[in-house]
Amino acid sequence: MKPQIKFFTILCSGMLAVIALNAAKPLYHHTEIAVPLNQSITPHREPVTPRKATDFLNSIGVNSAVSTRGESLKKTIEIAKYLGIRWIRSGYEGNVPVADLIEVYKQAGVRFSYGLLSGGTDINHLLEGGRQLADAGALLAFEGLNEPNNWDITYNGEKGGKEQSWVAVAKVQRDLYVAVKKDTVLRKYPVWSLSENGAQTDNTGLQFLEIPKGAGAAMPDGTKYADYANCHNYFMHPSHPGLYDNQTWNAADPGLLCKVDGLYGNYGSTWRAKFKGYEGDALQNLPRVTTETGATINGDLTEEKQARMFLNLYLAQFARGWSYTALYLLRDRSDEAGNQTFGFYKPDYTPRKSALYMHNLTSILAEPATGTENVAEVSKPGKLNYSIAKLPETTHHLLLQKGNGKFALIVWAEKVKGMDEVKITFENAVSGKVYDPTLGALPVSSVENSNAVTLTLSDHPMIIEI
């Protein structure tokens, strides 16, 4: 005889969890998420191999002027630590002292991509700063020019960018790559391409990391530009305005279905002149980073909605193959006009909800302090056999594993309105904790010797730690 099952619901900050309890068991102080252990289980697919939680955390970056443009070095260190940020996009633009970047690394463990940024062409200057960062352990990568469609350049007397020829822009990127790879200290660091290469007016081959044979570009076949593609795939974009389902998931799409200024429009078929780039698997598997993305609070995009979308953003980017993602911005600009509500923080360093939710997410996924967990299991690989039946198009999942062996199964939805019910079934009974980063960094419920969890999700992630 099957045991009697009772159902009740928990409604918390946009997430409705439908919980099944075995009435034959006593109700403990925690919430037990379960199906009867003697009930038949739907056949499972192959076990899922997790990705490292540290790799996801290391992907989380921001744009910041660190100690210039009205920003405080002390506050930058403080809020970077609070958010769990692992890298900052920087460069010699704005004359940020390299010593300040190194201090951020020493106190907060934050590394830096170091780039030419807007209009910069002094490669020797860039490499000089890069060597200092590398010596301190603070260098992540080099980056090319920032949006030459908005900031033109003059390089060795040759003008380029904007509406002009982009040959000069291509030469800067080529020479940057050569200079880094010839340097005995710096050659091990990756070079990220320039941003907005989809705007090139003439076919300079910048839609490739290395120009293939027969590309018909103005630069020679075999010219090497970068190790990683670089995009500014803002999920709020004039090409597809407003709020819609799967917004950050779509912005991270590497293919033709991306509705914004994404990978395809810069490396598949350039958005301005339609120069042909990568196709098929070559595009899908292209090493890639995002050095700017985000959205301002405006109209339907409230502070609450922005905060939830920022969580979805980092997850979607990592799940869809972006190695590093930098949100624009850490703190709102105080020296620019317009709607300056991009940041995790206001100009006076008041945190927005996005800062609170990001702190919760990174805290939940962080590795435990040494000595607090079974260190014998650190770095032990594992797999988890689970399935999600009738997965809605707006629901996504990502399996991570911490160094102590614990799994973090992240399930999130991207719906503008409404909710979707999702049932996660495990082949073997599991125990653990359930977290909602919009509520805090502590568990909202427990899982004890259970085979399934049924959630109704709306617009943000939930984490099941197993």
Q: Which CATH class is domain 5-40+384-465?
A: mainly beta
pLDDT at 15: 40
**Cα–Cα distance measured from residue 434 to residue 451, given in angstroms and rounded to the nearest whole number:** 14
CA angle 71, 77, 80 (to 5 degrees): 100
The answer, yes or no, to whether residue 426 has pLDDT greater than 70, is yes
pLDDT at 60: 99
β 324-327/386-388 pair status: unpaired
**Cα–Cα distance measured from residue 142 to residue 354, given in angstroms and rounded to the nearest whole number:** 28
Please check whether the two domains, 5-40+384-465 and 53-365, share a CATH topology. Answer: no
311 phi and psi angles, rounded to 5 deg: -60, -50
Signed CA dihedral, 314, 393, 454, 382: sign only:
negative
For the chain, the distance separating the N- and C-terminal CA atoms, rounded to the nearest angstrom, is: 30
Structure tokens given for 96: 């940020």
Structure tokens given for 284: 């899908």
- Portion of the chain with pLDDT greater than 70, in percent: 88
Q: How confident is the model at residue 28 (pLDDT cuts 50, 70, 90)?
A: very low
pLDDT at 379: 54
- Portion of the chain with pLDDT greater than 90, in percent: 84
User: Which pTM was predicted?
Assistant: 0.90
Task: Give the burial class of 195: count Cβ atoms within 10 A of its Cβ; 0-12 exposed, 13-18 middle, 19 or more buried.
Answer: buried
pLDDT at 169: 98
pLDDT at 124: 98
CA angle 90, 95, 96 (to 5 degrees): 50
**Cα–Cα distance measured from residue 67 to residue 121, given in angstroms and rounded to the nearest whole number:** 23
β 407-413/395-401 pair status: antiparallel
Contact 454, 390 (CB under 8 A): no
The amino acid present at 381, given as its one-letter code, is P
Instruction: Give the ranges where 16-122 is alpha helix by DSSP (H).
Output: 53-58, 73-83, 98-108
Identify each DSSP E strand in 280-323 by its residue range: 288-290
- Residues 40-74 have pLDDT tens digits of 333 446 799 999 999 999 999 999 999 999 999 99
Mean pLDDT within 237-262: 96
The helix (H) or strand (E) run that includes residue 231 is strand 229-231
Instruction: Map residue 331 onto helix, strand or coil.
Output: strand
Residue carrying the six token digits 């590497």: 254
**Cα–Cα distance measured from residue 153 to residue 161, given in angstroms and rounded to the nearest whole number:** 6
β 461-465/407-413 pair status: antiparallel
> Which among 141, 157, 150, 275 has a CA at the least distance from the CA of 219?
275
**Cα–Cα distance measured from residue 97 to residue 264, given in angstroms and rounded to the nearest whole number:** 36
Give the domain ranges of the chain: 5-40+384-465, 53-365
CATH no. for 53-365: 3.20.20.80
Please state, as a whole number, how many other Cβ atoms lie within 10 Å of the Cβ of residue 38.
9
Alpha-carbon separation of residue 450 from 401, 420, 462 (angstroms): 19, 22, 17
If one compares 177 and 238, the residue with the highest pLDDT of the two is 177
The answer, yes or no, to whether residue 327 has pLDDT greater than 50, is yes
The helix (H) or strand (E) run that includes residue 40 is none
The answer, yes or no, to whether residue 39 has pLDDT greater than 60, is no
What's the Rg (C-alpha) of the chain? 24
Instruction: Map residue 359 onto helix, strand or coil.
Output: helix
Q: How confident is the model at residue 85 (pLDDT cuts 50, 70, 90)?
A: very high
pLDDT at 170: 99
Mean of the per-residue pLDDT values of the chain: 90
Q: How confident is the model at residue 401 (pLDDT cuts 50, 70, 90)?
A: very high
Q: How confident is the model at residue 380 (pLDDT cuts 50, 70, 90)?
A: low
CA 379 to chain centre: 23
Contact 187, 134 (CB under 8 A): no
Contact 362, 60 (CB under 8 A): yes
